[in-house]
A = this chain, B = another copy of it.
């Protein structure tokens, strides 16, 4: 692997000149530029990014720490974040913790500030411990997550209004006449989807509808989790007419459980999720859900992080993601008589 100095020797100049050819071609005489470029081509030289990073004190890499790479929410977000980062001349390192706080801890500890210029932590479902780890880091760190009073100080923060999302979902179901609603809450490792549930409860309260805690199933944030939760709900509350899942993946699991029992959606039971991942519109029936605007979250977060890196203002910054928005598809319908007598 050729180095700068080999190029310099071949071109009959010093490394400083070669470096300038690479970075400020304007400062070098055209004839020299040509000579150097010829040498570069001849040797197949490519700059060593490690050395460059060390010399410049900047690696142009940012890390994206997320709890689960197989949950499609994240890849959809990663894709956009990566594109934005690339446009701004940064590499994105994707770090998957698999919901293991140890791993998250290790990544943050090792990478932040020593390999990456900054870190974007997707907190959704991520363990609290990991977040705690972030305080006192010097490298720019941006958190995208639910609104947590405890965290909102100290760290730049992109806030997603999950509470509102739960509320929107509830309002939709209420408007359709549903009263007996099963709830499936994802918990990741640390029970992080409570706000969605709170928003949901809040809407019921506002409508004067009693909320039955026994209708809540709290499960792992996966398709099988949703399946299992639905099975439980069906056995304990056979009279429910709708299911609210705190995210689309759980809702997908729910739809399977219903399909396996020959229960029709939305004919027998309506189903609503949150997030609007691609799968939501691909399910059959297509899933009614509350869109969180994944792409916007990705853009806002990564841009905030890069802004902070390039222009370190010390004050933590809070940015709000777009408001959640109801997307009505085919999995919900008005309550009709007969519902209550199915079970």
Question: Residues of A with Cβ closer than 8 Å to B?
Answer: 1, 44, 46-51, 53-54, 59, 61, 69-70, 72, 74-76, 78-79, 82-83, 86, 91, 93-96, 98, 103, 109-111, 113-115, 136, 138, 223, 252-253, 255-256, 259-260, 278, 282, 284
Contacts and interface: CB of A to CB of B under 8 A. Distances in A.
A186 B59 CA distance: 37
A114 B59 CA distance: 12
Contacts of A79: 69-70, 96, 98
8 contacts: A1-B138, A49-B111, A61-B115, A70-B72, A74-B75, A82-B96, A91-B95, A91-B115
A142 B138 CA distance: 36
- Closest 4 pairs (CB-CB, A-B): A94-B94, A259-B284, A49-B114, A49-B115
Nearest to A82: B96
Contacts of A223: 278, 282
B256 A46 contact: no
A107 to B, nearest CB: 8
A278 B50 contact: no
Contacts of A82: 69, 96
Count of this chain's copies in the oligomeric assembly: 2
Contacts of A78: 69, 94, 96
Nearest to A70: B75
A54 B46 contact: no
Contacts of A49: 110-111, 114-115
Given A1-B138, A82-B96, A91-B93, A114 B282 contact: no
Nearest to A93: B93
A312 B1 CA distance: 15
Contact of A86 (B70, B103, B111, B113): B103
Given A50-B53, A50-B114, 7 more contacts: A1-B113, A46-B109, A50-B50, A50-B115, A61-B115, A86-B103, A255-B284
A331 to B, nearest CB: 13
B284 A46 contact: no
A48 B114 contact: yes
A93 B255 CA distance: 35
A294 to B, nearest CB: 11
A46 B113 contact: yes
A49 B78 CA distance: 24
A70 B73 CA distance: 9
A42 to B, nearest CB: 14
Contacts of A72: 70, 72, 75
Nearest to A260: B284
A50 B46 contact: no
Contacts of A255: 284
Contact of A114 (B47, B109, B136): B47
A308 to B, nearest CB: 16
